[in-house]
Amino acid sequence: MTYVGQSASGVQHPDVSPATLKDVVLAYVGLTKPRVIELLLLTTVPVMFFAARGVPDLGLVVATVVGGTFSAGSASVFNCVYDRDIDEQMRRTRRRALPRHIVSPNSALVFGFALGIASTVILAVWVNPLSAVLSVAANAFYVLGYTMLLKRRTTQNIVWGGLAGCFPALIGWTAVTGELSWVPVVLFAVVFFWTPPHTWALALRYREDYANVNVPMLPVVVPAHVVGVRIVLYSWVMVGVSLLLWPVAGTGVFYPVAAAVLGGVFLLEAHRMSARARGTEDLAVIAPMRLFHSSNLYLSLLFVAVALDPLLQR
């Protein structure tokens, strides 16, 4: 029987109670990192609307969403298994299922492989083989490239490791069209340049956690003002790339206007955070989570604009 708070050696403490079925179910769900999945799906479904130039087939959307959810969940489970040693030491992650020993590593691995296999079958059979291949590639890159190779070795970990999170834009497009083009590549690039500012803001908030476990996130190895400058640079490129969709895809007027407004607001927040970071390392002053939350809102609304643009042209 699994016990909440049971030690890694399996020793139980007198005041520790058995995990309930609800605890276990929630633990398995937690292993898939639902909030990350939400963000990934937010860059998948709108692209399907854009590719279809309207409302895509509902069955296709459901199959893509289910397959994409299982794939992203699988990658997250493998990440949790590999990182369980550092997760147990970090404030942000110590309440995850493996550090709390509600789920064993072996059980989590079986769960991860099951999700990955189910995802591949669903996408290959009910969507198309190309989307299934892209999904497997994203999963493999996140686990092998980011988690196992880059994360603990270089400050560029999230820059290149973040490529895995860009694949949903490609998968959403290929699910509808069955082929790749420059249009989803532009959206892929938007997510690529969005990822570092988004992640560095969060890493700045939890830099002590990362430092304690020797993970060289950028805010751990350089001063806050340097992080701020990097965030500003990536943000400008991100906004510039987002506007490329207008000429590349021949969008209506709505998308470039929305992208310009959203980009302007995001750049203002990035510059403000960078200014607050000058001459101080005080996180209360820098307030990096303001940018982190702004980045979530920016990406969400930008991809909503992607979905709405073809609908408004009718």
Domain at 241, CATH number: 1.20.120
Does residue 138 sit in the same domain as residue 208?
A: no
**278 found inside a domain:** yes
214 and 152 Cβ atoms separated by less than 8 Å: yes
List the domain range (segments joined by +) for residue 283. Answer: 181-314
- Amino acid 44: pLDDT: 96
Q: What is the pTM of this model?
A: 0.92
Does residue 130 sit in the same domain as residue 269?
A: no
Does residue 41 sit in the same domain as residue 156?
A: yes
- What tens-digit pLDDT sequence spans the chain (314 residues)? 344 444 443 434 333 457 788 889 999 999 999 988 888 889 999 999 999 999 999 999 999 999 999 999 999 999 999 999 999 999 888 888 899 899 999 999 999 999 999 999 999 999 999 999 999 999 999 999 999 999 999 999 999 988 999 999 999 999 999 999 999 999 999 999 999 999 999 999 999 999 999 999 999 999 999 999 999 999 999 999 999 999 999 999 999 999 999 999 999 999 999 999 999 999 999 999 999 999 999 999 999 999 999 999 86
Does residue 232 sit in the same domain as residue 268?
A: yes
- Amino acid 19: pLDDT: 74
Domain endpoint, select from 97, 128, 161? 161
Does residue 157 sit in the same domain as residue 204?
A: no
**169 found inside a domain:** no
Does residue 27 sit in the same domain as residue 79?
A: yes
At what angle are helices 167-177 and 45-52 packed, to 10 degrees? Answer: 40
**4 found inside a domain:** yes
- Amino acid 11: pLDDT: 37
Q: Which residues contact 112 (CB under 8 A, 6 or more apart)?
A: 31, 74, 75, 77, 78, 81
What is the CATH classification number for the domain harbouring 26?
1.10.357.140
Does residue 139 sit in the same domain as residue 187?
A: no
* Centroid of chain to Cα 51: 22
Does residue 94 sit in the same domain as residue 35?
A: yes
- Amino acid 17: pLDDT: 56
- Amino acid 12: pLDDT: 41
- Per-residue DSSP letter, 150: I
**5 found inside a domain:** yes
Domain endpoint, select from 102, 126, 161? 161
Does residue 16 sit in the same domain as residue 101?
A: yes
Does residue 299 sit in the same domain as residue 232?
A: yes
CA torsion angle for 39, 286, 275, 196 (degrees, to 10)?
-30
Q: What's the number of domains the chain is made of?
A: 2
Domain endpoint, select from 161, 190, 223? 161
Is the alpha carbon torsion for 265, 39, 190, 180 positive or negative? negative
**261 found inside a domain:** yes
Does residue 4 sit in the same domain as residue 126?
A: yes
Does residue 127 sit in the same domain as residue 254?
A: no
**167 found inside a domain:** no
